Amino acid sequence: MAFDRLIRAIDEKKNPTVAGLDPKLDYVPEFIKKDSREKYGDTLEAAADALLTFNKGLIDSLCDVVAAVKPQCAYYEMYGWQGVKALYDTIAYAKEKGLFVITDGKRNDIGTTMEAYAAAHIGKTEAFGKTFESFSADALTVNGYLGSDGINPLLNICKEEDKGIFVLVKNF
């Protein structure tokens, strides 16, 4: 099960910390932003490249210390498709480094829309007769506000794909 992998990683590293990857461009060191701007100009692609470069450095520094990372979708989506690609590449890089990845999307909807979120983040997508994994995270955060109508569509995908969900039930 997905959470068995997470618990095993926590036990191996003796550390239950999940590192949040919520990169704000303002927090990225100037030398990284400078390199990205030299490659791509003052564009969203440069911003996304800077986020990815920064994340890779964090992941390299943390992969032997923490069991999991949790990239927050909004910090990537705000940079358009380029930022979404940086999210995808961040997830792939973290998984290459052996980390459990929790996509922090706090998604919430019902029925087929929730199934689409699940397919995108923790499941598979069909296109042109082939099956693809989109983001391939190990787990997804979801908002339980809509109750079981918003959670049930995820459960089969979790079981079939050996993935998990974290349900936000109360926020202070």
Alpha-helical runs (H) found in 14-131: 30-40, 44-62, 74-77, 80-96, 111-121
Cα–Cα distances in Å, from 73 out to 13, 44, 69, 121, 130? 26, 16, 12, 10, 26
Cα–Cα distances in Å, from 55 out to 6, 77, 87, 172? 20, 15, 10, 28
Q: How far apart, in whole angstroms, are the C-alpha atoms of residue 35 and residue 75?
A: 20
Name the phi and psi angles at 168, rounded to 5.
-80, 115
Cα–Cα distances in Å, from 108 out to 23, 146, 150? 23, 7, 6
Active-site hit among 33, 70, 106, 163? 106
Q: Is there a catalytic annotation at residue 95?
A: no
The residues carrying an active-site annotation are 106
